[in-house]
Structure 1
Amino acid sequence: MPSSSDELIFFVNGKKVIEKNPVPEMNLLFYVRKVLHLTGTKYSCGGGGCGACTVMISRYNPESKKIYHYPATACLVPVCSLHGAAVTTVEGVGSIKRRIHPVQERLAKCHGTQCGFCSPGMVMSIYTLLRNHPEPTPDQITEALGGNLCRCTGYRPIVESGKTFSPESSVCQMKGSGKCCMDLDEGCSESTKERMCTKLYNEDEFQPLDPSQEPIFPPELIRMAEDPHKRRLTFQGERTIWIMPVTLNDLLELKASYPEAPLVMGNTAVGPGMKFNNEFHPVFISPLGLPELNLVDTANSGVTIGARHSLAQMKDILHSLTLEQPKEKTKTHQALLKHLRTLAGPQIRNMATLGGHVVSRPDFSDLNPILAAGNATINVISKEGQRQIPLNGPFLERLPEASLKPEEVALSVFIPYSGQWQYVSGLRLAQRQENAFAIVNAGMSVEFEEGTNTIKDLQMLFGSVAPTVVSASQTCKQLIGRQWDDQMLSDACQLVLEEIRIPPDAEGGMVEYRRTLIISLLFKFYLKVRRWLSEMDPQKFPDIPEKFVSALDDLPIETPQGIQMFQCVDPNQPEQDPVGHPIMHQSGIKHATGEAKFVDDMPRINQELCLTVVTSTRAHAKITSIDVSEALAYPGVVDVITAEDVPGDNNHSGEIFYAQNEVICVGQIICTVAADTYIHAKEAAKRVKITYDDIEPAIITIEQALEHNSFLSSEKKIEQGNVDYAFKHVDHIIEGEIHVEGQEHFYMETQTILAIPQTEDKEMVLHVGTQFPTHVQEYVSAALKVPRNRIACQMKRTGGAFGGKVTKPALLGAVCAVAAHNLKMHIIFQISGAGAGLAKPTCRLTQLSEDLASLRLQW
């Protein structure tokens, strides 16, 4: 491996960045927040699913001579992948000090912010849309926000702020005027005019959008992209290396030398694997600029799409193809198009590539089952030559003989045209239409003998039911030659359930429900094919019964429409009287510009340490040893804190700060690691070695707790009268149980605490996002064994809570304060999105018994 590193050059908000020692493992979110100190881009889920860290990335294509802008989740963008790119964060869009952008102004004035944590991401999604489409349609606005989550505002005012940029009206357009019948100048009655209005903002107050005033793409990056003498770039980190080849032969040489190295283009598969599964890759190869991976070739038999194309670009390619080709030839392409509209969010669709999505073969993929059903193939290449791999069941099931060899690279994907008597469909069921994994999905294809309903070929593939996409190949074989009728459907349902078995302990649970959904999707496909056959030959093939027609229709993804009516404020009401006026959130503009500071946004000081936790992996066990030697030897680590380091109470009000001799649940804090960076702290935490002796029984359900008489607190009763006597002498007794499963809190801002030890009297200042600061003060006081008046708990704002920040911040605050107290240094402690479940309600079981003196039923 090379020992030196090339310079990484890119632009952020119009300013050139030259990074002489880029870290391949560092993502853009960490870089802009911790290195450039641009804290408007927020950290929330860390996995590309919430949109809080959305930024705009701009690149120049030397072949088309065009600049294209796309939204991306910064938490998944490796900083090394940005060589030659321009990044725009919310600070680059506008600020209070400089000038706020119309997007920021309208989001605030349309009342689209509440806690404000998601607002910068919302701004960036709308802003990127406007850079590409200055006059967007309402549907484009809705689609652009599909990858952004908000937990408190409710989306409507956010979408409405975006609609103000659309020339199309989404109101009722009474009399063709483009206005709403509820507007005062178009109102229905005099009394209505005086009392009601339909908006909480005045569009006349908005500054206009002027696309000519947007920042230009840096000319230096255009020159870099068109440089004919490009060379391979290498970025060397502490333990990893990032290599960017410039030719296809260069890529194949690298893959032959490092066959296990992942190809990183969008990083939507490799990135989550590193974060959530602790995967480590010493070498990354990034072939972003290779033209051979960007081809689009339309032939008589189908279309070939380069592996480098993003899913968003693939959507545009397929859309153009379906307009050019006869409908009967593009059934596979139409099925793919439908799912490309809802797959993930716009950010992920613009980052994820076709080749990466196909080769990674996720079990939840919506596209791979359709590609397999449509008989697609993957074109792969290595130093040994090219070959085609059928994208079929064996490939998706990861059988070695059907997979890529380690030294091979996916070059493109060929999607053939469908036959005249072939029908292809993709189906999915999820908890919401956009930005959600399917509970069950499927790709199905059937080909008939010409002019008949006799099955010539049949393919059915299902996702989200096993560790891989699975093919019902045996079922399909047994159905070939059968007629497409109700008896075939009945047999198919039985065969599929026999072939595809979901184990009882399957990830995601809901086993019986998912088995039902498999049959539901098969039934829907059967009806779709019946309808298609009747359209092909109405005389020969009767239509489906009327009672089943509704099952054919997919729920449309439409821009929400509606009318809001508010009592209008008397125009003669004095300005100093605010009652009834739609007043903008006091921090609304700061939310939209990213200038509203949350705990993790506070300026860092020199020698500030980062804290991470080491938690129990056992439900109930005795701790026999804790070996921290390897963790202490890790670079950047200052200390490992355990229960022995707590100066005061380690158990306050039944809450154990650090487990000492015994753990009573998975996830209980055993020790914490303080280091100079989060990366060092987390890596060192993996090196803490804890041994256990399991204690039986491990009680993990309420029923088990009742059986073993295991109660965590004393019994609390509210009694009136003689209960035992009442139950003995009533006419009827109704008994039952209510069981409520656990519920995870979902707030955008993760649990974050900054502890600052003071120089006098063991005083401590904590900055924390909490709903109960007094509780934090109490626990910290107990842990440090100091009076409460020496603990200051400050809470300026929090990015959502919903009950999840009532009690747990006290425990986390005590843990953080102990580390800060012992080390006499500032400590920042942030629980990742994956670990935020430490603060979730547990299951509840309620046993009910009601006595009735008499029972009367009335109908």
Structure 2
Amino acid sequence: MPLLPPIKRHQNSTNSSDSGHDSPNGQREKRLSEVDQFDAYDRQTLIFYVNGQRIVDESIDPRTTLANYLRDHLKLTGTKIGCNEGGCGACTVMISEIDPISQQIRHFSANSCLMPVCGVFGKAVTTVEGIRGVEERVHPVQERLTKAHGSQCGYCTPGFIMAMYTLLRNKPQPTKDDVDIAIQGNLCRCTGYRPILEAFYSFAKDEKGEIKVTENGCPMGEKCCKNGGDGCGGERKTLIKLSDMSKCVPYDPSHELIFPPELKLKNFHQQSFFHDSNGHKWYQPTDYSMLLALKRKHPHARVISGNSELAIELKFRFINLEMVINPRQVPELHEHHLTDDGDALNEFSKDLPESKTRVFKAVLEMLHWFAGRHVRNVASVAGNIATASPISDLNPIWMASKAKVVLDSEERGERTLTIDEKFFIGYRKTVIRPDEIVKAVIVPFSNENEHFYAYKLAQRREDDIAIVTGAFRAQMNPKTQLVDNLSISYGGMDIFTRLALKTAEKLAGKKWDKTLLDLGLNLISEEFTLKPDVPGGMARFRQTLTLSFFFKFFLQVAKNLQISIDHCVEKTEIGDTIPHTLNATQLYQEVSKDQPIHDPVGRPLEHVSGERHTTGEAIYTTDIEIAGCLHSALVLAPIACGTIDNVDPTKALEMDGVIAFFDASDLPTNERMGHHSDTPIFAKDRVSYHCQPIGIIVARDHETARRGANAVVVQCTAEKPIVTIEEARKADSWILDELQLHSQLNEGNDVVKKNDWSKYTRVIEGEVKMGGQEHFYFETHNCIVIPKEDRALEVIVSTQGINDVQTEIGKCLSIPRHKIVVKVKRIGGGFGGKETASPLIAVPCALAAMKLKKPVRLYLERFDDMAITGTRHPFNFNYKVALSEDNHLIDYDVTAYANGGHSLDLSTGVLTRAMVHIDNVYKFKNAHIYGRICRTNTASNTAFEDLEAHRECFCTETLMKQLAETYDLDVDELREKNLYNEGDMTPFGMHLRKCNIRRTWHECKEISQYLEKKGKVQEFNRKNHFRKRGLYMMPTKFGIGFGLKFMNQASALVLIYTDGTVLISHGGMEMGQGLHTKILQIAARCLDIPIELIHVEETATDKVPNSMPTAASVGSDLCGVAVEDACQQLNQRLQPYKDKMKEKAWKDWIQAAHIDRVSLSASGFGIIHNEPVDFFNGKGAELFGYCVYGTACCEVEIDCLTGDHRSNWKALLYRATVCSQWRRSGVREWDPFIKGALVCTKFRQPYDVPRDYHVSLLKGSSNPHGATCE
């Protein structure tokens, strides 16, 4: 059923679906007996098409999703699975069918992870592989996304491709609005969406109906250097388009794959389908009477459409589902009619008077924010009503508008009910009887004196469940301006959607004025109260939203009635529109005109795997097929803290397909892993955190393994856990002793003197708290372990640190490391979450493979991944700071408390990184910095991209703001006055060289036109009472390198073959940052050959041993220097041949060297010079090789009534970190937008991207320590 529901008048109905009620009992009973018989259905074999190929399957389990079928059965691994909940869009495919009403071919996008494979019976499925591959010419969508640098890790890319492809199949010349809606359900963790939008907007027509790609504007406007101005810093910079689409192939719909003729000629859309596999039954009737008969005979069978609820229950609650009814092919449920008492919420709304369609428009507007496009394409309003979610977006509208539902059953016939306070009777319970079908929804017309509005607030605007929803209807007397009738309904304020009956009753007959407003607010606050421990939390906020929504409604009605209220009446619809013009720029320094054309350094190269990302041909660990591979799943602890009394795998081992169970007793020696050997591989006697692994189940397939793991009985005695930093401090629960830093010790003092705060007149103190943050790499943790001869293992794993995986497997299974080969081709995002957490997955998988002597795969579902692995460290900071009379920072005392989780992991590195960055970019005359790691009963928290550096900057920026507010100072002037200067020493003892912070500050201020924008923001805030804007400019620095000296090293292997091609292996992991692309550039310049001759092989421990994790923003530096070293060795060997054979070319020199028995392979090595800090005694050192600096400016707008907000404008100015590839580095800087938003809310979507966004790299600031081959 489509989401725009069947809304139909049923009185005096004469359609065939009603005739069954007048049938003789004998015919009815005969139909009941036939509904389960094979011959009652046209087809019993699943038939559909995939990429033009006919698929026939007689035995597939109906519980199988389309995504799993595509990947596991058809080996079409371009379709990715990111969440298995329909929330990320990585699994998006296009489904084509013949509409049962119009008989026209319809293309729609869908989440294949939710769609049951039986649901595509008689349909055609198109995946990313089916729209053209690399061997042929790529599809225009694939080409443009590649050229726009729209993929980084690439795991989300196929989903975006298919979403846009589906739009073009339906509308070859879309608008930008169409593009935005098409990708509503797609997420990207890497890019920040700008390059994706740029690529897709190039297909959109402008207001004149023309498709034209225009250059993006400079943030300096008329002051741009290209116009003769000096607004770009007074130095030669070139403003280029982010990508040039003018040379791309135009889209031609005539070249697309046709709809399979068989499906149309044989009328598959009119054929009923029944499938039974191992007791799991799928019914897909095409006749309405058969649907009623099915529901009568099987009243508790689940009726599905979008499957968004049932799929979750099957996947994560392991319900036993024996039968499903899919009514999508029943024509009567697709009909819509316009009558005197109802409408279909479609194009009719455009032709009717505005006064009659106010309810319809509220529904349509709410539908825009309802889920994502891929969910809406297959979902149904009937299903949403029957599911009775307490946070439903639509149910408050139905209740407030007094909409009706028509329920039908074969036994009792039709009945029509109003959706009112009697309809929802409990949590996810309605008055709908088990044998009834929701046949229709009747939505009433509004009238001229009726005002209707609906509101929703979620943690993000699109594709998110609501925090609170509200719908309001006011029927006014046009003569007296009194309220004739009022309806108020809220979702998210009880276990079901509720009407504010008491409030509506007492406000009836009142005049629409401030008295009514005050009374209404009081009544609502009394009628809707929540306990502090209410499920979903945010009790006070939710209660406030009910008042805010009512207030918004009051203002809007007052505006409609032209009633003057002592408040600024603003636009109060659900979410404000934003300009679709993407004004995004990157400023960079062009390469020298003398640079050889084949020298790629500094040029904007596409991602080396970009095209393979867009075609679905990029292979990740989850895509690799191993013959005879078994699957496994971890058995997880049901409590957070306590003792394990018994673990019984008997029920699991009795299940068909389950092969074995292993736990701590099966480990040969070491039961713990980690850098400090304090992390149990399996919990044995005690549980330290909820969902801690207890054992591992091995089975023939992934789903059987998961069901088997769920069947293992784990009995525990629970104890009270320690969860928060506050609880740990109170319980004196610590990991390690206190760490410290004292700037005095770096100045020749041997004794630390405590601050005498009494001598200062300007002192403030405070506390900053910051919670954890999920990494949300799109590819979850997974690995494959393949046993080899002589107890050797081959491990293919998604990790940032192959050395750690190799070390931990060898240590825990007593296997020498030279017999363990760990490999990584690419990973679908890491962000620090795959640095040390990977052994948690790899070691149990290796144990199972070694025990069974068969390949074993372990793949974590998103839920399990988030439960088992740690997050970013929650932090608390307590600070005290003194400011001099001339506004210089003097003394600074700060203590950082980090929630380390149940074991140490990387908490020491995270805390010390926090301690050395807590100064941010400001010079403190004296600083005492302390740190403690709290032990709690949570998953061990770990690295997160910048290792907490910028969170500590937030602490210092908070105190800077507090100082400014306390002493009435301009915070920007205070910042600027205290910025570091060249040669200054930090509290951790490092002298700052090439310190560009003041340059980035001043240039960002100029590029952003900060002072001008500040005046506009102040003017906006004066004019608007309930919407406010804020403008902020913030500087930052980041030290490049690991804190431990021995980790700042890397190796590489460079091989030259006699045909002149070059193969490189290095110790870094490609995870979307473009590392391999940068390595290619470095090697091409060093060897002075075209980049096409060079290939980077997968990262493997048998090529490069003892490699460090790819982390700390140092992968390009270390691996680049190592590759440069190897290339220079080869250059030295080849130089005699170059001198002797000057007229010859590269290949000739290689062959000559080979004939002379000169080695054409070299192992390179590179380091970053640094010295370690003594954190136990507080003495600093030159900890980093260098620092990078940047300044950002951002304008944010907020709705003061609800907290809804958006970023309007952003500018970032960075010092270049690696000169080899500005393009990838520059694009990557959009990631802070996503990362920063994740701290306080949910994963951002394309809609949330600032449409005015500018990134610049500071001219003349190339990294002198990196690999440049100069």
TM over 0.5: yes
- Which digits, 9 at most, give the CA deviation of each residue in 1:191-236, with x for residues without a partner? 99995343143334212211111011011111232687x4x43211
**CA apart distance, 1:523:** 0.5
Larger-Rg structure: 2
Aligned to 2:510: 482
Q: Contact 1:397–1:469 at 8 Å: present in 2 too?
A: no
Distance 1:201 1:744 in 2: 32
Could you tell me whether the CA contact under 8 Å between 1:170 and 1:561 is conserved in 2?
no
Equivalent residue in structure 2 for 1:463, among 475, 478, 491: 491
Q: State the shift of 1:835 in Å.
A: 1.7
Is structure 2 residue 793 aligned with structure 1 residue 764? yes
Indicate the residue corresponding to 1:793 in structure 2. Answer: 822
Change (3 A) 1:807 1:563: closer
| 3-state SS in 2 of match to 1:750 | coil
Aligned AA (2:148):
C
The whole-number CA distance in structure 1 between the counterparts of 2:804 and 2:429 is 60
Matched, 1:579 2:601: yes
Task: Name the CA distance, whole Å, in 2 between partners of 1:177 and 1:577.
Answer: 29
Query: Is 1:209 the equivalent of 2:280?
Result: no
What CA distance in whole angstroms lies between the structure 1 residues aligned with 2:118 and 2:256?
26
- Mapped pair 1:692 → 2:702: no
Matches within 5 A, 1:20-39: 20-39=58-77
Q: Which residue among 540, 547, 550 is the counterpart of 2:568?
A: 547
Alignment partner, residue 593 of structure 1: 615
In the alignment, is the contact (CA less than 8 A) between 2:399 and 2:499 conserved in 1? no
- Shift of residue 740 of structure 1? 2.2
Change (3 A) 1:681 1:570: same
Counterpart of 2:630 in structure 1 is 609
SS of 1:87's equivalent in the other structure is: strand
- 1:636 match: 657
CA deviations on 1:398-442 (whole Å, 9 max, x unpaired) are 499961110000111111101221111111122322112222211
Query: Residue 735 and residue 240 in structure 1: after superposition, are their counterparts in 2 closer, same or farther (change >3 A)?
Result: same
- Using the size of structure 2 for normalisation, the TM-score is 0.63
Q: Report the Cα offset of residue 72 of structure 1.
A: 0.2
Supply the distance in 2 between the matched residues of 1:180 and 1:664 (Cα, whole angstroms): 53
Q: Does the CA contact (< 8 Å) of 1:139 and 1:558 recur in 2?
A: no
- Find the aligned partners of 1:54 and 1:180 in 2 and give their Cα distance: 30
1:393 Cα shift? 3.0
Amino acid aligned to 1:651: R
Read off the aligned partner of 1:199 and give its amino acid letter.
Answer: K
1:269 to 281, 296, 309: 309
Indicate whether 1:77 and 2:107 are aligned: no
TM-superposed deviation, 1:548: 3.3
1:172·1:180 contact (CA, 8 Å) conserved in 2? no
Deviations 1:444-464 (A, max 9, x none): 111123433212211111122
Task: Pick one of 427, 450, 469 that aligns with 1:441.
Answer: 469
- 1:300 pairs with 2:328: no
Question: Which deviations, in whole Å up to 9, do the C-alpha atoms of 1:535-588 show, x marking residues without a partner?
Answer: xxxxxxx24446233556841144242142545566775321223422111100
8 A Cα contact 1:234 1:241, kept in partner: yes
- 2:1094 — aligned with what? none
Pair 421,705 (structure 1): closer, same or farther in 2 beyond 3 Å: same
Aligned CA distance change for structure 1 residues 12 and 854 (closer, same or farther; 3 Å): closer
1:812: which partner in 2? Answer: 841
Matched, 1:347 2:370: no
Would you say the 8 A contact 1:424–1:446 is kept in 2? Answer: yes
Distance 1:253 1:832, change over 3 A: same
CA distance in 2, matches of 1:437, 1:780: 41
Shift of 1:385: 0.6
State the shift of 1:379 in Å: 0.8
Specify the alignment match of 1:308 in structure 2: none
1:40 has 2:39 as partner? no
Please state how far the C-alpha of 1:717 moved relative to its aligned partner: 4.1
Distance 2:153 2:361 in 1: 40
Q: Secondary structure at the match of 1:405?
A: coil
For 1:400 and 1:804, locate their aligned partners in 2 and report how far apart those are by CA, in whole Å: 36
CA shift, 1:848, in A, is 2.9
The 2-side partners of 1:741 and 1:180 are apart by 37
Q: Which amino acid aligns with 2:870?
A: K
Distance 2:644 2:60 in 1: 41
TM-aligned CA deviation for residue 477 of structure 1: 1.6
Matching of residues 371-382 of structure 1 within 5 Å: 371-382=398-409
Q: Is the 8 A contact 1:105 1:206 kept in 2?
A: yes
User: Between Structure 1 and Structure 2, how many residues are aligned?
Assistant: 832
**Quick one: structure 1 residues 572 and 701, their matched pair in 2 at CA, closer, same or farther if it must change by over 3 Å?**
closer
Query: What is the distance in 2 between the residues matched to 1:110 and 1:484?
Result: 54
Alpha-carbon distance between aligned partners in 2 of 1:560 and 1:663, rounded to the nearest angstrom: 53
Q: Which residue of 1 is the match for residue 1265 of structure 2?
A: none
CA gap of 1:253–1:709, structure 2 versus 1, over 3 A, is: same
> Displacement of 1:776 after TM fit?
1.6
Q: Which residue, out of 280, 297, 304, partners 1:240?
A: 280
- Residue-by-residue CA offset, 1:690-741 (whole Å, 9 max, x unaligned): 111234x432222222222222444444465798962678646865443322
Mean Cα displacement is larger for which, 216-225 or 666-675? Answer: 216-225
Query: Following superposition of structure 1 onto structure 2, how do residues 96-107 of structure 1 map, counting pairs within 5 Å?
Result: 96-107=134-145
CA contact (8 A) 1:91 1:593 kept: yes
Which segment is superposed worse, 734-743 or 714-723? Answer: 714-723
Letter in 1 for 2:701: T
* 1:649 lines up with 2:676 in the alignment: no
Deviations 1:261-284 (A, max 9, x none): 111122122222322333332111
Show the counterpart of 1:60. Answer: 98
Q: Deviations over 1:479-514 (max 9, x none)?
A: 212222111111211211211122222233222122
Change (3 A) 1:402 1:646: closer
Name whichever of 24-33 and 610-619 sits farther off: 610-619
2:767 corresponds to 1:740: no
8 Å Cα contact 1:84/1:224 also seen in 2:
no
Q: Which position in structure 1 is the counterpart of 2:811?
A: 782
The letter for the 1-side match of 2:437 is V
Letter in 1 for 2:652: A
- Cα shift readout 1:628-678 (whole Å, capped 9, x = no counterpart): 111111111110111001123111221110011111111111111100011
Q: 1:29 to 1:180 in 2, by over 3 A?
A: closer
Residue 749 of structure 1 is matched in structure 2 by 779
Q: What corresponds to 1:335 in structure 2?
A: 362
1:385 lines up with 2:423 in the alignment:
no
Partners of 1:179 and 1:587 lie apart in 2 by 26
The whole-number CA distance in structure 1 between the counterparts of 2:188 and 2:214 is 30
Task: Give the whole-Å Cα distance in 2 for the aligned partners of 1:28 and 1:423.
Answer: 44
Distance 1:399 1:675 in 2: 36
Aligned to 1:119: 157
Per the normalisation by structure 1, the TM-score is 0.91
The AA in structure 2 aligned to 1:425 is Y
Query: Which whole-Å deviations, capped at 9, do the CAs of 1:805-848 have from their partners, x for residues lacking one?
Result: 11211221112111111111111111111122222336635353
1:675 matched residue in structure 2:
699
Where does residue 473 of structure 1 map in the other structure?
A: 501
- Partners of 1:25 and 1:226 lie apart in 2 by 22
Residue of structure 1 in register with 2:32 after alignment:
none
Shift of 1:12: 0.4
Picking from 416, 428, 431, the partner of 1:403 is 431
1:39-188 to 2 correspondences below 5 Å: 39-168=77-206, 188=227
AA in 1 matched with 2:304: V
Q: Are 2:806 and 2:821, in contact at CA under 8 Å, matched by a contact in 1?
A: yes
CA, structure 1 residues 291+253, in 2 after alignment: closer, same or farther (shift >3 Å)? same
Per-residue deviation, residues 100-135 of structure 1 (Å, max 9, x unmatched): 111111110111011100110010011000000101
For structure 1, which segment, 38-47 or 198-207, has the greater mean C-alpha deviation from structure 2 after superposition? 198-207
